[in-house]
Amino acid sequence: MDEKQNVKIQVRGLSKVFGKHPKKALELRNQGLKRPAILEQTGQTLGLSNIDFDVYEGELLVIMGLSGSGKSTLIRCLNRLIDTTEGEIVIDGENIPTLSDKELLECRRRHFSMVFQNFALFPHRTVQKNAEFGLEIRGINKDERHKIARNTLSQVGLDGWEDAYPNQLSGGMQQRVGLARALANDASVLLLDEAFSALDPLIRKEMQQELTQLQAETQKTTVFITHDLDEALNIGDRIVLLKDGEIVQIGTPEDILTNPADDYVRRFIEGVDMSRILTAESAMRPVRSTARESDGPRTVMHKMRENSIDSIYMLSRDRKLLGLLEVDAAKEAADQGATTVLDYMTQDFRRVKPDEPLQNLFAMFSEKGFPIAVEDDEQRLLGVVVKGAVLDELARAGDQ
Amino acid sequence: MDIVRIPLGEWIEGGLNWLTSEYSVVTRSISHFTKIGINSLNDGLMWLPQWALLAMIVLLCWRVSSYRLGIGAALGLALIWNLGLWDPMIETLTLVVIATLVAVAFALPVGIAAALSERLYRLSMPILDFMQTMPAFVYLIPAIPFFGIGSVSAIFATVIFSMPPAIRFTTLGIRQVPVELIEAADAYGATRSQKLFKVQLPLSLPTLMAGINQTIMLALSMVVIAAMIGADGLGSEVWRAIQRLRPGDGFEAGIAVVILAMLLDRLTQSLSRSRR
């Protein structure tokens, strides 16, 4: 990542000992002892040891580790839901561990919104009132917080659910409420603690995508905790890998895949679903715009102009891929006074299924460089793969 | 060899005597105000025509709970009226209502404090055990020197006897609020009182109402016993029946107590359910 980026949160020498005699544990730690030995000798659990990292302004940082790695402790140290034993956490010049109670409240209100693994929605409040919670706490007046909450709820796709209670919603929708509660608050940092781990895989994918989109739009500094490397690679700008309360590696997904810091990371990566990474589906992008078979030449040209593209996929009413129409052909059709463009389409592009291995795709690009269409068994268009994406994906995985 | 008997009883008596003489101003003013409360509530309820009050109670039962409780209330209250026990029933109801109000007014803050402070929690539990397991009659004895014979003493003993469940349930309700929700409130920067009023109390309301329900039931049982120290109401009807050895009269008054108890119980239970 770019070193010139502004640092939003600076964590230095952060340690956390669970137990009544933290000093003893830290002494042993300084003598080079590890967590199990310290536990045996002192009965103290070394939760986090000497953690250093920065969170950059506007990035999505993933902290990833297995259970017991200290990731939940770490995120709770950031907003001091757990008191630290030693070290600094500086956000905008304030050192969180040394704040007074009153300053801490202020700091939490201004800087931190949090989304929880099991949603932690208030069951006695409606969806709307849940979303308003942070604003209510801060004393924002009723009309304003009502408006903000409504906007954020519609941002996460919960229009019309304002008066429902959390127990009337599915898991995915409940977490959307959790997300809305966090976004409505407009704090400067968004903390997500295993936010999608309790959701089923399909919903989870969807939420990951929405989160990355939202994050890209709002540029909100985000710290995301997960135990799932796939998820980390999928959404993280950078990843902090945690093991037994210590940092093993910090880097972009690319760094971690290509240069695993040690065997621990390597073993982790081997667990990543390589077949998924190396298929057409992984390099596929959604299609920006498509035309319908009933569209006339002028409609099609208008669509191309609107999206600044010079060819467009034609779909039948049931979304089957009929062919590709280039802008020149569309113009020709218009000049000849044709009412349909179906006769002007070209088939000079390749179609593949989503599970097509990525290596095969490379040789398929036509001279004109049309993207490769990915379609399902019913010939419905799922997305397209452009040349650059294939290269990216291959480079990512190639060095292993 | 004689082992000296520990004069526990003398000590307690000495303490109570001291309290009575030193704080007679306090006890007398408490007595005064409680009497005003009892009399005005009593007079108010008695001032209403009996059919009007009956209709109001039936309506309340119907609205808050179901038409079935409404019908039950109508039949039960009509029976009490018919047996000529309406006025004693109102007197008992007054004592229960006032004792419950006072007990809850004490129990809520104590229960909340015990829920929020571990030390207070550990301190309060044995005291509550003491208050609950001490035979109820014993409270009647010191009540008399404090407040004299009559309704005020009955209220005093009833409050002490019926308060523990309200405290316990309040504490329990607050401590049962899931940790994640407390964490969520903290994470958004809620102050202690915001946490209490926006999260902890609303979420413990069902448990809290169950505690109040228990308090009402205990208050009713104690108010009947308090007839022994001159409290008016259904209890004194029973007491009179005992002294005259008239089991029929005793059962009539007893059945009236049962009807009142069931009405109060169902009513508060459905109140707590509708709040959920």
Residues with Cβ within 8 Å of B145's Cβ and at least 6 positions away in sequence, in order, are B16, B17, B20
DSSP string over A231-299: HHHHH-SEEEEEETTEEEEEE-HHHHHHS-SSHHHHHHHHTS-HHHHTBHHHH-B--S-EEETT--HHH
**pLDDT tens readout for residues B235-249:** 999 999 999 999 999
Interface contact B189-A105, CB threshold 8 A: yes
- pLDDT less than 70: residues of chain A: 1-4, 271-278, 359, 362, 366-368, 391, 393-400
The pLDDT assigned to B1 comes to 62
Residue A130 contacts B where some CB pair is shorter than 8 Å: no
Report the residue from A108, A123, A138 with minimal CB separation from B187: A108
Nearest alpha carbon to residue B203 among B184, B219, B218: B184
SS3 A225: strand
* Separation CA B89–CA B264 (nearest Å): 13
Report the residue from A81, A106, A185 with minimal CB separation from B186: A81
The pLDDT assigned to A115 comes to 95
The pLDDT assigned to A399 comes to 45
**pLDDT tens readout for residues A248-264:** 999 988 788 778 888 87
Name which of B174, B179, B188 to mutate to probe chain A: the one with the most chain A Cβ atoms within 10 A of its Cβ: B188
The answer to whether A390 and A332 have CB atoms below 8 angstroms apart is no
Q: Return the domain boundaries, chain B.
A: 22-275
Q: Return the domain boundaries, chain A.
A: 57-86+99-274, 281-398
Interface contact B189-A113, CB threshold 8 A: no
- pLDDT less than 50: residues of chain B: 276
SS3 A56: strand
Instruction: Please state which architecture CATH assigns to domain B22-275.
Output: Orthogonal Bundle (1.10)
- CB neighbour class for A299 (10 Å; exposed up to 12, middle 13-18, buried from 19): middle
Q: Count of CB atoms within 10 A of residue B47's CB?
A: 9
Nearest alpha carbon to residue B151 among B204, B69, B227: B227
Interface contact B187-A114, CB threshold 8 A: yes
* Separation CA A29–CA A37 (nearest Å): 9
Interface contact A137-B199, CB threshold 8 A: no
The pLDDT assigned to A385 comes to 84
Chain A residue numbers with beta carbons less than 8 Å from the beta carbon of B182 are: none
- Which is the CATH superfamily of the domain at A57-86+99-274? P-loop containing nucleotide triphosphate hydrolases (3.40.50.300)
- Which is the CATH superfamily of the domain at A281-398? CBS-domain (3.10.580.10)
Interface contact B191-A105, CB threshold 8 A: yes
The first and second tokens of residue B54, run together, are 């009956």
